[in-house]
């Protein structure tokens, strides 16, 4: 392996001037995947990665077998009742995709397989569903299908009675589907040139696309359009939202050709989500300075007349509201953990669902029935596998329907969970969630994997992964840093980790790592950092800021060429992102982004060992971002530390679509971590 030479990308000097600064980009030519030289370079990088990782192939195989061996391959999810039918998905050994099934009236009825994704994906390297909706009368299945990973979907409709595909095949669509109540009309979304969902269309089954009618169009590049059907079945939601404001129109689902009605005109820095009940609309909003959000309501007949229903509280972040016929479920966050609050409409009584562990994650299920007293949710912790419950909101009794089985004799008592608070450099305390195999002696000898995301207000819940056991059983401590940029500690946590405060995200991660080293959970020569997408930006930033702190860094589909990407409005989704990172055409924004953009801050110095992954069809973080970053690192870094690029040549942002290929990808990633972290 000592004779292996990494590929070196040629340098094509390219300069631009922005705000008086000359910007050099010697690797801009790598953006063009139609260029045979670019493909040849990517193939050379992949060949080099394969060769460097060849000694770990037995370990990769062992990890793959371990991960697969813990999974019950023949498995099913608890059925969900919708009308007279019970719907569920199941998997079979050796098959990469789910099989979708249903039973009529009772769970003892004959199983009907109404869609087998394995059959649909035969002969295809990639197969992803961007929409999956059964019509209200249970007669038709509407699908959005992507076979490249580029998230460009084709609408197909299957007659579940005759098993015939309808002639409807509408291409180049975005995410989002909704059925009207007539069971013959479906609403879909198209995108603009930058892949921003911008228009909702009404389509009548068995008609030509040319006859489809536009029902909503938003030309503002900061806004993304969505469509959905309300739980009570009465309304089609037409939603347009940016990262800081939005608006909703309601269209009568029973009269799909009627005109939509605006709930409230968009207003700067005002967000709201609408959920219809029997007679009222319930609105989750930050109106009037409600930073942590509150709930208001309005009569269905006069949707613009809002009145306060659940007031704002400075110490409680309201994440969501689910409305049912006789009760509401409010998702709140207290002290970094999600709470489920049930509020009865008739009596006004309310209570919280109790959970047993100090750190956990809970997510509501689909709950498609409007008039029901049962609430489906999934509970998990770092040591408790996904557990699906039905909870009776009247009696407060819960029934465990299913807990994911971990094969091979998993014993949660062998592992321990800790919830720590690490001091950031500005005095803020940052939560850390840890899990490890007992006993733990804090002697700095354990390898530790520190993971975070820290963007878009996305909260990283401390939940279970059977894959992760392969690291824990080799001595790793696994830690999640709940850094600013997420919403673990409320909306202010998000606001303090974006735009002109984005450096807090990177500093928090570094400060968490230093705390773990200082407290001897690990040492720098055993510390591995991991993040993906915007978390990959985090990886690029911390590699530049503190390269000495990490033994290794793993960056998946990393957003690392921040300024060049934010300058190019033709790149998918760029304009909307100005509300997250800033617009580099604004001098103040540019100067701030210039301080952390990973590609712009690569220097001639020692870097940690690094594995970078990407997909050539990625529409969210273009493949050339990590490719250019790798090429620049190879040119400037002053060390011989391992630097690997693994480019998937047939997938997109989420990696492989089949479960076995995803396990293979994880085994590869884990093999790198185990090797670099010095684990057993």
Write out the catalytic residue numbers.
Answer: 533, 618, 653
Q: How many CB atoms lie within 10 A of CB 57?
A: 12
DSSP label at 529? E
Q: Cα separation of 615 and 485, whole Å?
A: 25
Residue located via tokens 């690291």: 471
Closest CA relative to residue 372, chosen from 355, 389, 388, 390: 390
Strand, helix or coil at 577? helix
H helical segments located in 351-502: 469-472, 491-495
Return the structure tokens found at 662: 């995803």
Q: What is the dihedral of CA 29, 33, 34, 37, to 10 degrees?
A: 60
Q: How many CA atoms lie within 13 A of 622 on its CB side?
A: 22
Residue 187's nearest CA partner among 252, 231, 232, 127 is 252
CB 524 within 8 A of CB 517: yes
Report the DSSP pairing between strands 261-262 and 246-252. Answer: antiparallel
Q: How many Cβ atoms from other residues are within 10 Å of residue 538's Cβ?
A: 34
Q: Where are the extended beta strands (E) located within 208-245?
A: 213-217, 224-229, 235-241
Q: For residue 507, list its beta bridge partners.
A: none
Name the 3-class secondary structure at 483: coil
Tokens of 127: 């197969």
d(CA 502, CA 411) in angstroms, rounded, equals 40
Question: In angstroms, rounded to a whole number, what is the distance separating the alpha carbons of residues 102 and 50?
Answer: 43
Indicate the Cα dihedral angle 391, 393, 396, 397, nearest 10°. -30
> Are 129 and 155 spatial neighbours (Cβ–Cβ below 8 Å)?
no
Can you read off the two tokens belonging to residue 377?
């949710």
Q: Spell out where 265-397 has E strands.
A: 272-276, 280-285, 294-299, 307-310, 317-323, 327-334, 337-344, 350-352, 361-364, 374-380, 387-392
Pairing assessment for the beta strands 21-24 and 75-76 based on DSSP bridges: unpaired
Contacts of 612 (CB under 8 A, 6+ apart): 536, 554, 555, 556, 558, 626, 629, 630, 643, 644, 645, 646
Which residue, 205, 218, 301, 202, is CA-closest to 255?
202
Among the listed residues 216, 238, 195, 208, the one whose alpha carbon sits nearest the alpha carbon of residue 575: 195
Tokens, residue 154: 């084709």
User: What is the C-alpha to C-alpha distance for residues 261 and 394, in angstroms, rounded to an integer?
Assistant: 35
Helices 659-677, 57-69: crossing angle, 10 deg rounding? 130
């Amino acid at each position: 392996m000592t004779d292996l030479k990494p590929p070196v990308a040629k340098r094509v000097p390219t300069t631009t001037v922005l705000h008086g600064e000359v910007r050099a980009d010697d690797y801009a030519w790598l953006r063009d995947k139609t260029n045979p030289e670019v493909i040849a370079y990517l193939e050379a990088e992949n060949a080099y990665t394969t060769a460097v990782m060849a000694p770990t192939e037995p370990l990769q195989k062992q990890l793959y077998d371990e991960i697969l061996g813990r999974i019950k391959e023949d498995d099913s999810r608890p059925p969900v009742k919708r009308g007279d039918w019970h719907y569920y998905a199941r998997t079979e050994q050796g098959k990469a995709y789910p099989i979708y099934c249903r039973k009529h009236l009772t769970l003892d009825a004959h199983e009907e397989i109404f869609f087998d994704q394995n059959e649909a994906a035969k002969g295809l390297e990639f197969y992803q569903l961007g929409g999956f909706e059964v019509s209200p009368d249970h007669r038709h299945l509407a699908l959005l299908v992507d076979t490249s990973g580029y998230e460009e979907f084709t609408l197909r409709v299957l007659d579940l009675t005759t098993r015939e595909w309808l002639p409807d095949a509408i291409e180049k669509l975005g995410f989002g589907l909704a059925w009207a109540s007539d069971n013959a009309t479906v609403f879909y979304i198209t995108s603009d040139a930058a892949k921003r969902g911008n228009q909702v269309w009404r389509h009548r089954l068995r008609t030509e696309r040319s006859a489809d009618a536009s029902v909503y169009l938003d030309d503002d590049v900061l806004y993304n359009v969505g469509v959905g059907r309300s739980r009570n079945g009465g309304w089609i939601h037409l939603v347009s939202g940016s990262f800081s404001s939005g608006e909703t129109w309601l269209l009568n689902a029973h009269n799909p050709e009627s005109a939509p009605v605006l709930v409230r005109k968009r207003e700067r820095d005002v967000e709201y989500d609408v959920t219809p009940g029997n007679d009222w609309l319930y609105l989750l909003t930050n109106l009037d300075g409600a930073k942590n959000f509150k709930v208001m309501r309005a009569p269905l007949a006069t949707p613009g007349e809002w009145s306060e229903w659940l007031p704002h509280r400075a110490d409680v972040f309201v994440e969501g509201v689910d409305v049912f016929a006789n009760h509401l479920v409010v998702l709140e966050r207290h002290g970094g953990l999600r709470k489920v609050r049930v509020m009865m409409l008739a009596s006004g009584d309310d209570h919280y669902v109790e959970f047993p562990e100090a750190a956990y994650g809970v997510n509501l299920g689909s709950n498609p029935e409007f008039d029901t007293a049962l609430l489906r949710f999934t509970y998990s912790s770092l040591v408790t596998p996904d557990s699906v419950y039905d909870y009776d909101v009247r009696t407060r009794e819960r029934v465990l329907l299913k807990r994911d089985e971990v094969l091979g004799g998993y014993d949660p008592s062998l592992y321990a969970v800790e919830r720590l608070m690490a001091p950031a450099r500005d005095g803020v305390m940052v939560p850390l969630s840890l899990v490890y195999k007992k006993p733990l002696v804090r002697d700095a000898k354990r390898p530790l994997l520190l993971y975070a995301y820290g963007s878009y207000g996305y909260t990283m819940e401390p939940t279970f992964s059977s894959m992760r056991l392969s690291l824990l059983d080799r001595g790793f401590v696994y830690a999640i840093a709940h850094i600013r940029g997420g919403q673990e500690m409320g909306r202010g946590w998000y606001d303090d980790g974006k735009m002109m405060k984005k450096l807090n995200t990177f500093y928090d991660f570094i400060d968490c790592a230093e705390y773990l080293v200082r407290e001897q959970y690990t040492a720098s020569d055993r510390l591995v950092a991991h993040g993906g997408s915007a978390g990959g930006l985090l990886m690029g930033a911390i590699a530049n800021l503190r390269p000495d702190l990490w033994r290794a860094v793993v960056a998946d589909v990393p957003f690392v060429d921040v300024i060049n990407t934010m300058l190019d409005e033709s790149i998918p989704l760029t304009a909307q992102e100005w509300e997250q990172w800033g617009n580099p055409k604004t001098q103040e924004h540019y100067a701030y982004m210039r301080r952390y953009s990973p590609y712009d801050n690569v220097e001639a110095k020692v870097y940690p060992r690094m594995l970078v992954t990407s997909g050539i069809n990625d529409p969210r973080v273009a493949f050339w971002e990590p490719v250019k970053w790798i090429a620049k690192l190879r040119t400037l870094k002053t060390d011989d530390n391992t630097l690997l690029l693994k480019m998937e040549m047939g997938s997109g942002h989420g990696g492989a679509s089949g479960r076995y290929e995803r396990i293979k990808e994880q085994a590869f990633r884990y093999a790198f971590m185990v090797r670099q972290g010095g684990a057993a």
